[in-house]
Amino acid sequence: MTSIDTAAMTTTLVHRASEHDAWWRNAVIYQVYPRSFADASGDGIGDLPGITSKLDHLARLGVDAVWLSPFYRSPQADAGYDVADYRQVDPLFGSLEDFDVLIERAHHLGLRVIVDLVPNHTSDEHEWFQAALASPKGSPERARYIFREGKGPEGAEPPNNWQSIFGGPAWTRLPDGQWYLHLFDSKQPDLDWTNPEVHEEFRSVLRFWLDRGVDGFRVDVAHGMVKAEGLPDWDGHVAMVEGVDEEGSTGAGNQGPMFDQEGVHEIYREWRAVLDEYEGDRILVAEAWVEPLSRLARYVRPDEMHQAFNFSYLTTKWDAQALRKVVTASLVANDEVGAPSTWVLSNHDVVRHPSRYGLSDPGSKPQGIGIGDEQPDEELGLRRARAATLITLGLPGSAYLYQGEELGLPEHTELDDSLRQDPAWFRTGHTERGRDGCRVPIPWDAEAPAFGFSPTGAAWLPQPASWAKYALSAQRGDATSTYGMYRAALRIRRDFKLGSGSLAWVDGLPEATAATTVAFVNGDVLVLANLGTEALPIGPEYGLELLISSQPLVHGAPLPPDTAAWFRLPR
The binding site for ligand TEU (CB under 6 A) comprises 78, 81, 118, 165, 184, 220-221, 224, 238, 240, 242, 254, 287, 289, 348-349
Catalytic residue among 220, 291, 411, 436: 220
Q: Distance between CA 459 and CA 47 in Å, rounded?
A: 12
| Residue 200 designated active-site | no
Q: State in angstroms the smallest separation of the CB of 293 from ligand TEU.
A: 16
Q: State in angstroms the smallest separation of the CB of 544 from ligand TEU.
A: 40
Q: Distance between CA 529 and CA 539 in Å, rounded?
A: 15
Q: Distance between CA 98 and CA 101 in Å, rounded?
A: 5
Nearer to ligand TEU, 24 or 81 (CB): 81
Nearer to ligand TEU, 102 or 314 (CB): 314
Nearer to ligand TEU, 219 or 387 (CB): 219
**Cβ neighbours for 565, distance < 8 A, ≥ 6 positions apart:** 390, 527, 528, 529, 546, 547, 548, 549, 550, 553, 559
Nearer to ligand TEU, 299 or 451 (CB): 299
Residue 570 φ/ψ region, left for φ over 0, alpha for ψ in the -120 to 50 degree band, beta for the rest: beta
Q: Distance between CA 84 and CA 127 in Å, rounded?
A: 7
Give the up-direction half-sphere exposure of residue 328: CA atoms within 13 A in the CB hemisphere. Answer: 15
Give me the residue whose beta carbon is nearest to ligand TEU: 81
| Residue 417 designated active-site | no
The angle at the Cα of 216, spanning 210 to 220, to the nearest 5 degrees, equals 115
Nearer to ligand TEU, 15 or 126 (CB): 126
Q: State in angstroms the smallest separation of the CB of 291 from ligand TEU.
A: 10
Q: State in angstroms the smallest separation of the CB of 181 from ligand TEU.
A: 14
Question: Which of 411, 407, 386 lies closest to 463 in space, CA to CA?
Answer: 411
Nearer to ligand TEU, 231 or 332 (CB): 231
How far CA 448 is from CA of 39, 403, 452, 465, 555, in Å, comes to 13, 19, 5, 12, 39
Nearer to ligand TEU, 95 or 161 (CB): 161
Q: State in angstroms the smallest separation of the CB of 219 from ligand TEU.
A: 10
- b (16+ CB within 10 A) / e for 325-352: ebbbbbbebbbeeebbbbbbbbbbbbbb
Q: State in angstroms the smallest separation of the CB of 102 from ligand TEU.
A: 21
Q: State in angstroms the smallest separation of the CB of 347 from ligand TEU.
A: 7
Q: In sequence order, which ranges of 338-470 are alpha helices (DSSP H)? A: 353-356, 378-394, 423-427
118 three-state secondary structure:
coil
Catalytic residue among 200, 245, 276, 277: 277
Residue 271 φ/ψ region, left for φ over 0, alpha for ψ in the -120 to 50 degree band, beta for the rest: alpha
116 three-state secondary structure:
strand
Active-site residues: which are they? 220, 277
